[in-house]
Amino acid sequence: MKLATKIEAIIYIKGRPLSIEEIFACLHQKDPELSKIDQSDRELIEDGLIELMNDYAHRDSALEITETEAGYSLQLKNEYEYLLQELVPAELGKGALRTLAAVALRNPILQTELIDLRGSSAYQQVAELVKLGFVRKREQADGRSYWLEVTNKFHQYFEINNLAIS
């Protein structure tokens, strides 16, 4: 098995950016062939990473190996991030869920009214809900606050057709 393939497996399994030292440690612990390699021989690992990066760059793949300040990682290419937002369920904290429920029940609601109901932490929760696409903000025509309302994504995600309460 090629070194680049082993590095790819390690980066995939770890699921987070890894430095060359961390990759070396994983390879060194688990591979008897590589136990002869010494820590100062970083070039072998760097060559394996370059080979791997080139391989991903030249194939039709949604994934790529990137280098960041934190290390090397296997990640989704930017042009496919919209799929991540659509397909992976959003993880909302209890406070954000309660804020979303308040917006949904009063749909639409003025942000100032929501803050009165939920407290000042709702500002941050609203920003998170807007970023996730569950809530839309519109400027109030004759005031300084915003109208908040749930979006189609909210209805699709929670499989709600109508919020009318009988």
Q: Where are the domains of the chain?
A: 3-84, 94-157
Q: Retrieve residue 148's tokens.
A: 């908040």
* Among candidate residues 12, 6, 1, the one with its CA nearest the CA of residue 24: 6
The pTM of the full predicted model, rounded to 2 decimals, is 0.53
Q: Could you say which of 3.30.365.10, 3.50.50.60, 1.10.340.30, 1.10.10.10 is the CATH number of the domain covering 3-84?
A: 1.10.10.10
Strands 71-76 and 109-110: unpaired
Residue 140, pLDDT > 80, answer: yes
Task: Calculate mean pLDDT across residues 106-134.
Answer: 92
Q: What's the pLDDT band for 86 if we cut at 50, 70, 90?
A: low
pLDDT value, residue 136: 95
Mean pLDDT over 62-89 rounds to 82
Number of Cβ within a 10 Å radius of residue 146? 19
